[in-house]
Every structure is written in C-alpha cells, then in structure tokens.
C-alpha cells in the first residue's frame, strides 16, 4: 500500500497507517482541487464560485442569504461575501432584500449564471468520467463511507 504516495512524497515509511491515510487524503484532495480548478478557471471563475453558483441554482427563485450559502459550501472559508461580490460583478448572481425581513439580503443566480453552469457541466461530467475510470462504483461508495466517517461529527457546522 502507498507506493504512489511514497514516490510522490519521496518518503520510505510513515509513522502509522493513520498518518499514511491522512497524507493520502491530503494529496488526493490537492490533486482533485487542481484538476477542478483547471476545469472551471477557463470560464473565469474559481472552484469556490462554481460551488456558490451550484448552491444558488439549487435554491431556486428564493435564493439564499450569504450565511446559508456559507454553510452549504464544500470549502468553508470566511470570504464567501467577497466571492459572491465577484459573481455579482460578473452578472452571474444578484442580491435583493427579503420581502419578509428587510435586514436579510438574498442572493440569487441570474440567467447568465445558469447559462455559465450549463457551459461548465460538460467539463464536470468529464471530471466524473475520469473518476469512473479510476474507481468502480463500489470503490466510490466505500470511499464516500470512509470519508463520511471522518467528517460526520462536523457535518452540521
């Protein structure tokens, strides 16, 4: 186990199987981040902005307040507002005050944002196809189960 990891890190042994697993996860996550960044950057947005667009598409016409978007992010970073500002400048999302509570600002995906997601979708499908070539469905399900064991206590945050 871990031959590819050992070669990549130029390390002959690890302190424990858990350390090796942690490093494997970090290297795999970095690899996937790089691949995904490359696939969305050609459309002028970041991976995090793509995630925001997907969240807002799922919200429908109601949209979400910024805080709700932040809770649903894959990468939970403190700069969601700045990333949304960038999407507003690009015309991909807009903001409006809630009719029920004027203190709440709702963020919604625009038609331009939906159109951009449609353009990106083939790239996302290609990305999934690469994963399908590398992992069987059973392996992918097992990987999901193992990953969820790691973050399930933190899933509500």
**135-144 burial code (b ≥16 CB/10 A, e <16):** eeeeeeeeee
Q: What pLDDT, on a 0 to 100 scale, did the predictor assign at position 119?
A: 92
Q: What pLDDT, on a 0 to 100 scale, did the predictor assign at position 154?
A: 67
Measured in whole angstroms, the distance separating CA 139 from the mean position of its chain's CA atoms is 21
- Which whole number is the average pLDDT over 16-35? 90
Structure tokens at 108: 């919604």
Structure tokens at 84: 């949304």
**6-32 burial code (b ≥16 CB/10 A, e <16):** eeeeeeeebeeeeebbebbeeeeeeee
> Given a cut of 90, is residue 78 above it in pLDDT?
no
* In contact, 27 and 87? CB cutoff 8 Å: no
Residues 105 and 115: their CA atoms lie apart, in Å, by 23
* In contact, 55 and 109? CB cutoff 8 Å: no
pLDDT category of residue 36 using cuts at 50, 70 and 90 = confident
- Could you give all domains of the chain from N- to C-terminal order, each with its CATH number? 16-154 (1.10.10.10)
| 122-146 residue pLDDT tens | 778 888 888 899 999 999 999 999 9
* In contact, 59 and 122? CB cutoff 8 Å: no
| 88-128 residue pLDDT tens | 999 999 999 888 888 888 999 999 999 999 998 877 888 88
Q: What is the pTM of this model?
A: 0.83
């Amino acid at each position: 186990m871990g031959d590819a990891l050992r070669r990549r890190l130029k390390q002959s042994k690890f302190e424990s199987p858990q350390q090796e697993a942690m490093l494997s996860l970090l290297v795999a996550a970095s690899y996937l981040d790089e691949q995904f960044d490359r696939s969305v950057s050609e459309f002028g947005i970041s991976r995090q902005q793509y995630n925001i667009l997907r969240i807002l598409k799922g919200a429908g016409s109601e949209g979400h307040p910024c805080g709700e978007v932040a809770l649903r992010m894959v990468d939970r970073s403190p700069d969601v507002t700045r990333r949304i500002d960038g999407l507003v400048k690009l015309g991909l999302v807009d903001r409006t005050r809630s009719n029920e509570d004027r203190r709440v600002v709702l963020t919604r995906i625009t038609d331009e944002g939906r159109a951009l997601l449609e353009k990106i979708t083939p790239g996302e499908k290609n990305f999934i196809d690469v994963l399908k070539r590398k992992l069987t469905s059973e392996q992918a399900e097992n990987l999901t189960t193992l990953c969820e064991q790691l973050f399930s206590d933190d899933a509500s945050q």
